[in-house]
Amino acid sequence: MKWATREHIHIDRAACAWLIRRCIDPDAAFVFVTDPADVPADATPFDMRGVDLGHHGDDCSFETILRRHDLTDPVLWRIAEIIHEADLDDERYDAPEAPGLDAILRGLSMIGDDQHTLTITKPIFDGLYEYYHRAQMLGREPA
């Protein structure tokens, strides 16, 4: 399936793409556009103004995708708190990891195009998932 978002991805768009591939569409292909009017007819748009899979209420796009697809994994929701704070910085959650993750992703987006950013951020999100998954299993932060 084809998915579309704005070009020059940062935290929310990169995290959404990772979430889409991990939980919704493992074969997802991503298209990056400068204008929402340029979204191909056969693509599902995300993290753009006025689309279903965008910011709604106080939620960032990552949270919206979790809700729309009924993804209840508590590890994904913990990651959503970090993504939310990195993207919106509204202090809704206690997510001290947010500024660091945001800086890392912004820096990575400066050294390549959007496809490259998706490729190199995947292991970062995979690692976050594994860390919080193990923490949940152990009942404490992993060593």
pLDDT per residue as tens digits for the range 94-143: 999 999 999 999 999 999 999 999 999 999 999 999 999 999 999 999 98
User: What are the strands, taking DSSP E only, across the chain?
Assistant: 2-6, 29-33, 43-45
pLDDT per residue as tens digits for the range 22-54: 999 999 999 999 998 999 999 999 999 999 999
CA-nearest of 44, 75, 46 to 59 is: 46
Where do runs of H (alpha helix) occur along 2-142? Answer: 11-19, 61-68, 74-88, 98-109, 114-138
C-alpha 117 chain-centroid distance = 12
User: Is 31 in contact with 4 (CB distance < 8 Å)?
Assistant: yes
Provide the β-strand partners of residue 46.
53
**Quick check: helix, strand or coil at residue 45?**
strand
For position 62, what pLDDT does the model report? 98
